[in-house]
Structure 1
Amino acid sequence: MEAGTHTVTNQAPPLVGYDVYACDRALSEAVARHLPGELYGEAERELGALGRATGSEQVREWGEQANAFPPRLRTHDRYGRRIDEVDFHPAWHRLLGKSVAAGLTDAWGRPGGHVRRAAGFLVATQAEAGHGCPVSMTHAAVPALRAEPEVAAVWEPLAASRVYERELRPAASKAGVLLGMGLTEKQGGSDVRANTTSARPLAAAGEYVLTGHKWFCSAPMSDAFLVLARAPGGLTCFLVPRVLDDGSRNAFALQRLKDKLGNRSNASAEVEFDGTTWARRIGEEGRGLRTVMGMVAATRLDCVLGSAALMRQAVAQAVHHASYRAAFGGLLVDKPLMRNVLADLAVESEAATVLGMRLAAAYDSGTERDLALLRIAVPAAKYWVTKRCVPVVAEALECLGGNGYVEESGLPRLLRESPLNSVWEGAGNVQALDVLRALRTEPAALDAYLREVGEARGADPRLDRAIRGLLAELSDLEGVEARARRLAERLALVLQGALLVRWAPPEVADAFCAGRLGGEAGTAFGTLPPAPGLRAVVERARPVE
């Protein structure tokens, strides 16, 4: 029997047992907006099932277990034979299996596939972000594989499969595979042109052996990897399987696993190719960068979606807590200052979701205009949304006070995860410079962007002023590299504002334009100008009715 002093009162109940998808109005409305009627019903059923599973106590427990028991490298078996395997907690495999079964590696060529898959990715990674890495890379590898149709015919159906098989076996004997990548080397980092890994051609057409070291190899338990190496004709893309067709292990020596700030459930490794590592060329020799760029663009969009997922989960936890916690004579959610903080966070979260889903819809449409829009909007969105993730999660944690700083709340894990997407697939400077490259070399990209934001002109004077200011900045590109970050930020903010003005409730669009475009708020969250609509903004973000 507990003493009376241990009676628990004035604490929010755990946020479990709810539909992560249905309770996210910004996301569910985006799916309805971007999917035609004949696809919408099926997508709603699939996403609802995934949302209920993600919000369940069981799946949340899997996420905690996968991070509490991180992967472990086994380089040799008991007899001293090299095996280079990574052991994961069973919860990791359960999470991966659920996401693969939900179709999160299947989007290319499927009607509405990118919207459905993006929404599912945004839902599933709210339970646990680390397993999103192999899911993302498997999905994103398809454009690169298609540079070699003979290889794509074998590997693409397996990558799109809804069957997860964890065992390392020849691809031909599996019902589904996972794909990773190894681009980064220690001497070059983001400058992959500095790569020194070499590829020597064999007698058989398209076959090579590799020699070199990869500083970051993501998801090293995958069935195959896309890597860059120097062939006689220049930097080239290759597919490196873990297991060869005869069942023998490819020479793929895992040196160590990285001890990362966050993303603890997911393994990132250093890998050595010893001169006998077999590889299959993908695309032409010397065109490796062009071959992998389709993959990189897709994983960059997943960085946007992953950050949007972290923001949404952090905001949901903050609003949920404030809806139950009482202080100073009333619920926190009813206090004007706390309401301002929560509304500000909710607006940021919704802006990230709406932008990510619009870009996913652009992949589905495949029109020249939308493909051109992706060229400039993806790096701008990747730059800005991933940058905003850290302060959003940190502020949401603060809403829980000391409870938020305790591991059991789940917020510390979200905070450790929050910087990741701004680093992976090219950090901030890489994205900003990519925006400049698109502006300088692809006029259709800027034209598509201006047409997109032009859809909202005249709806809000603050947005109109921001568009004019952006045009003024774009008219003077003298010394632009030094202000490339500011330009990428303005491009993302104006696009977010335009999308919210068109599609979000008026109170959400008004708060965004006031706080991000109108100069009516400070730099910290919770400095929006007081407005009656802030209560509705917070209510909209509430995860459970």
Structure 2
Amino acid sequence: MTAGTHTVTNQAPPLVGYDVFSADRALAEAVERHLPPELYPEVREELAAFGVSAGSAQALEWGTLANTCPPELRTHDRYGNRIDEVEFHPAWHRLLGRGVAAGLTDAWDRPGGHVRRAAGFLLASQVEAGHGCPLSMTHAAVPALRAEPELAAAWEPLIASRVYEPGLRPPLEKTGVLLGMGMTEKQGGSDVRANTTRAEPLAGDGEYVLTGHKWFCSAPMSDGFLVLAQAGPYEGGDGLTCFLVPRVLPDGTRNAFAIQRLKDKLGNRSNASAEVEFDGSTWARRVGEEGRGVRTIIGMVAATRLDCVLGSAALMRQAVAQAVHHASYRRAFGGLLVEKPLMRNVLADLALESEAATVLGLRLAAAYDAGGEADRALLRIAVPVAKYWVTKRCTPVVAEALECLGGNGYVEESGLPRLLRESPLNSVWEGAGNVQALDVLRVLRREPAALNAFLGELGLARGADHRLDRAIRDMLAELADLEGIEARARRLVERMARVLQGALLVRWAPPEVADAFCASRLGGDWGASFGTLPHTLDLAAVVERARPVA
């Protein structure tokens, strides 16, 4: 029964049934820019197909179900046996299977593999962010495993597999595996050298048993976990070592891996994050040398930090797409919202932040593919810089985009509340803001090649925009003044991030985008909130570029 007073008018249609990849001009252009020409047609077709899937009603429904029906912990079976299993809604498995089949755990040995994977990760994360966690950790485990060639030879083909095979079985008997990570403990958090988990050697070469706990262990249904434990002198914690802990042992028995509880998180509710205990019989295989745990696992951390950048860029892009789409259909005060000068200013401001994040994330992925000495040096400093800034910009962008939908944006059915709950996550995971800023200072003090690579990247854009040139000079002046540098670390890293984004946009973005970014983020003509861009800029073109129409 429909009342005549409830005829639906002046509502935007759902943003569904479109190619998420091709509709994102900044992303599509970045992929073409960073791939060898001979690869681009194949990758474009692959990503367009994945983009159509990401924009489908079915995928969006899976994302909703995976979050409204979160995982549940089953510590015991009906007979009282300890099983420590996490049950997920079928939608979660479909999302993960789709991501694995799309190659989101396979990048390290493919031509252009990191760029194509980064683009795919951006698409998958716009559908649902939580399942990106196991995909990210599995992909990122490869550099750490390569510290032990025998382990890498056994596990890498399973990591790169396009087959998703859930369930607890001996990992090397499966056709595809997922890996997780356990670093933090409740007494230390990011200070992993305060870890108290102990490793005692067994008779077998590289075999140990672990005793201790992990305060955050994400995706506990994975087939194996890279963890840190003290394997040398325990006083002072100078024996920190990396280990691989399988959930199931080669003989088919369950490893001692007690899941004490799942975290009740603000967002990321589709993904299980657990507290786990190792009881003294937890079998582990050493990865790398004893006492070199941080050095061994740092490659994994760097890769997951880049995924934090990409995940935040994805949340921003989806939020901006929803806001621009809504404003393109919604009429108020005699015209479309998108045509109103103030709304156009807000949307353009949001679009700038989104495009800058995407361009930066794809540039760093391309550096992984290039793999040269200068590229590795650039990644060493630019990844924590990007991780600090992009993940912090995500929450205000999503909140402002939600406001563009008014009351509709505050309703769960719009999808914006879920994006907002997700938005702070990547700034916390893999080291919060202070950790990233201090990491940048550490690199500046110890690795001059990294700063040289960073300045070389900026140098490619010098002379193209006077505001960028001035911002580079100001940044260099701040770098030259080391007095009280730790207290100023956040300010410095923020400036480095904005200058790097500006340099990339000046080189590659349309003039109206680069001009607006430099005028606001570098030129100082910008207010404390979004929608304060100089009114003389070509804001209509910036908004039109962000509109999600293929």
What secondary structure is seen at the aligned counterpart in 2 of 1:92? Answer: helix
Structure 1 residue aligned with 2:15? 15
Structure 2 residue aligned with 1:226? 226
Output the CA distance in 1 between the equivalents of 2:521 and 2:312: 19
- The answer on 1:429 being equivalent to 2:468 is no
Structure 2 residue aligned with 1:72? 72
Residue 77 (structure 1) shift: 0.2
Structure 2 residue aligned with 1:377? 382
What secondary structure is seen at the aligned counterpart in 1 of 2:229? Answer: strand
Residues 111-510 of structure 1 aligned to structure 2 (within 5 Å): 111-232=111-232, 234-510=239-515
Letter in 2 for 1:339: R
What secondary structure is seen at the aligned counterpart in 1 of 2:487? Answer: helix
Residue 532 (structure 1) shift: 4.8
Letter in 1 for 2:373: E
Letter in 1 for 2:534: P
Letter in 1 for 2:262: L
Letter in 2 for 1:228: L
Residue 531 (structure 1) shift: 2.7
> Gaps spanning 5+ residues in structure 2: where?
234-238
> Gaps spanning 5+ residues in structure 1: where?
none
Structure 1 residue aligned with 2:540? 535
Structure 2 residue aligned with 1:63? 63
Output the CA distance in 1 between the equivalents of 2:113 and 2:536: 39
Letter in 2 for 1:524: S
- The answer on 1:521 being equivalent to 2:526 is yes
Residue 37 (structure 1) shift: 1.1
Letter in 1 for 2:158: L
Structure 1 residue aligned with 2:5? 5
Residue 266 (structure 1) shift: 0.2
Output the CA distance in 2 between the equivalents of 1:80 and 1:301: 42
Output the CA distance in 1 between the equivalents of 2:8 and 2:522: 44
Output the CA distance in 1 between the equivalents of 2:497 and 2:94: 36
Structure 1 residue aligned with 2:236? none
Output the CA distance in 2 between the equivalents of 1:508 and 1:360: 22
What secondary structure is seen at the aligned counterpart in 2 of 1:265? Answer: coil
Output the CA distance in 1 between the equivalents of 2:442 and 2:156: 31
Output the CA distance in 1 between the equivalents of 2:420 and 2:159: 31
Output the CA distance in 2 between the equivalents of 1:386 and 1:43: 27
Runs of 4+ off more than 6 Å: none
Letter in 1 for 2:217: C
Letter in 2 for 1:185: E
Write out per-residue CA displacement over residues 301-341 of structure 1, whole angstroms, 9 at most, x where no aligned residue. 00000000000000000000000000000000000000000
Residue 171 (structure 1) shift: 1.3
Write out per-residue CA displacement over residues 374-402 of structure 1, whole angstroms, 9 at most, x where no aligned residue. 01100000000000000000000000000
- Cα 1:229–1:532 shift into 2, 3 Å: closer
Output the CA distance in 1 between the equivalents of 2:350 and 2:161: 37
What secondary structure is seen at the aligned counterpart in 2 of 1:482? Answer: coil
Letter in 1 for 2:433: G
What secondary structure is seen at the aligned counterpart in 2 of 1:37? Answer: coil
Aligned length: 545
What secondary structure is seen at the aligned counterpart in 2 of 1:74? Answer: strand
What secondary structure is seen at the aligned counterpart in 1 of 2:216? Answer: strand
Output the CA distance in 2 between the equivalents of 1:523 and 1:139: 38
Normalising by structure 2, we get a TM-score of 0.99
What secondary structure is seen at the aligned counterpart in 1 of 2:20? Answer: coil
What secondary structure is seen at the aligned counterpart in 2 of 1:246? Answer: coil
Output the CA distance in 1 between the equivalents of 2:402 and 2:283: 48
Residues 82-121 of structure 1 aligned to structure 2 (within 5 Å): 82-121=82-121
Q: Aligned-pair RMSD on alpha carbons?
A: 0.6
Residue 426 (structure 1) shift: 0.1
Output the CA distance in 2 between the equivalents of 1:532 and 1:291: 48
What secondary structure is seen at the aligned counterpart in 2 of 1:227? Answer: strand
What secondary structure is seen at the aligned counterpart in 1 of 2:83? Answer: strand
Residue 172 (structure 1) shift: 2.0
Output the CA distance in 2 between the equivalents of 1:71 and 1:3: 40
Write out per-residue CA displacement over residues 419-454 of structure 1, whole angstroms, 9 at most, x where no aligned residue. 000000000000000000000000000000001011
Output the CA distance in 2 between the equivalents of 1:531 and 1:406: 35
Structure 2 residue aligned with 1:31? 31
What secondary structure is seen at the aligned counterpart in 2 of 1:310? Answer: helix
Higher deviation after alignment, 127-136 or 168-177: 168-177
Residue 367 (structure 1) shift: 1.0
Residue 232 (structure 1) shift: 2.2
Output the CA distance in 1 between the equivalents of 2:180 and 2:217: 7
Write out per-residue CA displacement over residues 107-128 of structure 1, whole angstroms, 9 at most, x where no aligned residue. 0021100000000000111000
Letter in 1 for 2:283: W
What secondary structure is seen at the aligned counterpart in 2 of 1:264? Answer: coil
Output the CA distance in 2 between the equivalents of 1:277 and 1:172: 18
CA contact (8 A) 2:516 2:537 kept: no
